[in-house]
């Protein structure tokens, strides 16, 4: 079960990374950059966008590898991934609620929440094994 949860969490993290990198890059990032044309903060937005995408991708790889690594490594990677995806999910929901009145307005909370949950369950499964 430990391996399966890490593989599922890794697949979910990979999906988040690809959705962000492809659909988000063509949609959200393009709109942001167009709105910030000529503004010096534009470069910071580009850096932050790609940095978060890279973090998501690295966590996907780490989750996949954790399926075969030691239990303590799995716990740490699973908790880091759960924290990263869960925090991003919570931010999407909080900003959506503040901006639109509903925390469910912006789609990314769904794959982020699923990935956070799977990562947390993977960490739990790694921590519950024999020492």
User: pTM for this structure?
Assistant: 0.92
Query: Which ranges of the chain does DSSP label H, i.e. alpha helix?
Result: 2-18, 30-35, 42-66, 71-100, 109-127
Q: What is the pLDDT of residues 28-62, one digit of tens each?
A: 999 999 999 999 999 999 999 999 999 999 999 99
Q: How high is the pLDDT of residue 131?
A: 46
Work out the pLDDT band at 1, boundaries 50, 70, 90. Answer: low
Residue 7: count of CB within 10 angstroms of its CB: 17
Work out the pLDDT band at 24, boundaries 50, 70, 90. Answer: confident
How far are the Cα atoms of 8, 18, 21, 54 from residue 24, in angstroms, in the given order? 22, 9, 6, 14
Q: Residue 114: name the closest of 92, 90, 85 by CA.
A: 85
* Percentage of the chain modeled with pLDDT above 70: 97
Q: How high is the pLDDT of residue 27?
A: 87
Q: What is the pLDDT of residues 82-102, one digit of tens each?
A: 999 999 999 999 999 999 999
């Amino acid at each position: 079960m430990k391996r399966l949860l890490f593989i599922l969490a890794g697949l979910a993290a990979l999906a988040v990374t690809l959705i962000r990198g492809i659909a988000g890059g063509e949609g959200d990032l393009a709109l942001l950059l167009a709105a910030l044309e000529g503004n010096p903060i534009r470069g910071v937005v580009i850096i932050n966008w790609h940095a978060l995408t890279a973090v998501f991708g690295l966590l996907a790889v780490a989750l996949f590898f954790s399926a075969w690594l030691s239990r303590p490594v799995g716990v740490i990677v699973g908790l880091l991934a759960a924290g990263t995806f869960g925090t991003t999910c919570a931010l999407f929901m909080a900003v959506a609620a503040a901006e639109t009145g509903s925390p469910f307005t912006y789609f990314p909370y769904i794959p982020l929440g699923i990935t956070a949950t799977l990562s947390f369950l993977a960490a739990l499964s790694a921590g519950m094994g024999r020492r």
